[in-house]
Amino acid sequence: MPEVRDIQIPEPGARVAAASDELQDMQGEKMVLNMGPSHPATHGVLRIVLELDGEIITKAAPDVGYLHRGDEKIAENMTYTQFIPYTDRLDYLAPLANNVAYALAVEKLMGIDKQLPPRCQYIRVICCELARISAHLLGMGAFALDIGAITVFLHTFTEREKLYNLFEALTGARFTTSYTRIGGLSRDLPPGWVEQCRKFLEEVVVNFDETETFLTRNKIFTDRTQGVGVVSREDAIDFGLTGPNLRGSNVNFDMRKAHPYLIYDQLEFDVPYGTTGDAYDRYLIRIEEMRQSVRIVRQCLDKLPGGPVNVPDMKVILPPKERVLTKMEELIHHFINVTQGVNAPPGEIYFAAENPKGELGFYINSKGGGTPYRMKIRSPSFVNLSIMSHLLPGHMVSDITAILGSFDFVMGECDR
């Protein structure tokens, strides 16, 4: 039983001395704090075990895997086409970009990535960039929400809702789009979609400006983010950071520029990159990337060519239904494509796309046939998070939300 004593109120001078004595005693006394896996600032199910000295982090051990579903194992046991819906669930904030990256990886393995019809390539670029806007809008909104600016989140979510309407019109699903197919797309653009998209682009640009008025020169926001979570250029490369997190640390590298896939080499856009590598730089880069994405989508809509959206090879894509029902050859192709999958040659490829979160890579090792022998998904969030145990120590507990928010990771992709 604790002893009950009267409260003693010492003189103010003595109180300060006693407090400083007490603080000195406390030094070196560490406390272990468990953050997550269900914490609003960890964007899903990231768990970080923190060791604290007062409010200063002395050690941080991220613990991932709470959302592990064994996607790589699943991929080994199904055809290439059957795996497309699983790619929706990697970075579930930009499913369209994952669909495109995965389809391009399999097409590279089959050697048909250069034969895609122009219309297909343009639509895929539009999908990638709209997905980037969608992912950054959420990432930025959640970042601001984590450090106290709730309005931004609601503001960016409004635009995201319009994007979801566009995705629904395009793919039939708002969230899990599964839009691409090996060798093409599941369907062409619906009528009137281009106009809807143009209208959206006009509106979203205004939203970017408004969002910036909330944050960019906001004293509270800059105080919370400038000089916080600084990643040096050397560390960023050493830890394999990619995407906006790498570019924030003064590395001018973008897969779309360095190794252009689809028609990115025919489009005009700039790659923003930061100078200091702090949380504020990463925020500025995401804002600018969205503006560049709007620029890219506008160019694509202007130049959008006609023609088919699938490669003309019935051994790769599903033949049209009316021909399946009337022609023997197409019936066989349809049957083989559905039951055994597209026939990929033996070999191994690595394809990486510049996704909203960073470099999403697929390493496919094929022994021939319709299923991969081994498929490794190099997910940007997984690699980006590995720097946390190096980056967090020395920061205050309240900086964690700013740092995690600025890194903009998705656990579905991290844990696969």
Tell me the backbone φ, ψ of residue 200, rounded to 5 degrees: -60, -45
From 68, 199, 303, 321, residue interacting with other proteins (rule: CB under 8 A): 68
Piece of 147-155, 304-312, 323-331, 348-356 that binds other proteins (CB under 8 A): 348-356
- Separation between Cα atoms, residue 232 and residue 230, nearest integer Å: 6
User: Considering the rule CB under 8 A, would residue 259 count as an interface residue with other proteins?
Assistant: yes
The helices-and-strands tally (H runs, E runs) of the chain is 18, 8
From 383, 400, 403, 411, residue interacting with other proteins (rule: CB under 8 A): 383
User: Considering the rule CB under 8 A, would residue 167 count as an interface residue with other proteins?
Assistant: no
User: Considering the rule CB under 8 A, would residue 148 count as an interface residue with other proteins?
Assistant: no
As measured in angstroms, the least distance from the Cβ of 9 to other proteins is 25
From 179, 208, 239, 409, residue interacting with other proteins (rule: CB under 8 A): 239
Q: Which is nearer to other proteins, 1 or 328 (CB)?
A: 1
- Separation between Cα atoms, residue 314 and residue 200, nearest integer Å: 36
Q: How far is CA 54 from CA 20, 21, 117, 397, in A?
A: 14, 15, 60, 9
From 168, 238, 265, 270, residue interacting with other proteins (rule: CB under 8 A): 238
As measured in angstroms, the least distance from the Cβ of 413 to other proteins is 13
As measured in angstroms, the least distance from the Cβ of 82 to other proteins is 13
Q: Which is nearer to other proteins, 135 or 385 (CB)?
A: 385
- Separation between Cα atoms, residue 204 and residue 160, nearest integer Å: 9
As measured in angstroms, the least distance from the Cβ of 198 to other proteins is 35
Q: Which is nearer to other proteins, 107 or 129 (CB)?
A: 107
DSSP string, 205-244: HHHHHHHHHHHTT-HHHHHHHTTSS---HHHHHHTT--TH
User: Considering the rule CB under 8 A, would residue 91 count as an interface residue with other proteins?
Assistant: no
> In the β-sheet with 47-53, what is the strand arrangement from edge to edge?
31-35, 47-53, 56-63
Task: Name the nearest CA neighbour of 228 among 238, 237, 220.
Answer: 220
Which residues in 29-58 contact other proteins (CB under 8 A)? none
DSSP string, 251-290: ----HHHHS--TTGGGS-------SS-SHHHHHHHHHHHH
User: Considering the rule CB under 8 A, would residue 301 count as an interface residue with other proteins?
Assistant: no
Please, are residues 401 and 144 in contact by the beta-carbon 8 Å criterion?
A: no
Q: Which is nearer to other proteins, 30 or 259 (CB)?
A: 259
Name the site residues for other proteins (rule: CB under 8 A): 64-65, 68, 70, 72-74, 77, 108-109, 111, 237-240, 251, 253, 258-259, 347-350, 352, 359, 361, 363, 365, 373-374, 376, 378, 382-383, 385-386, 390, 415-416
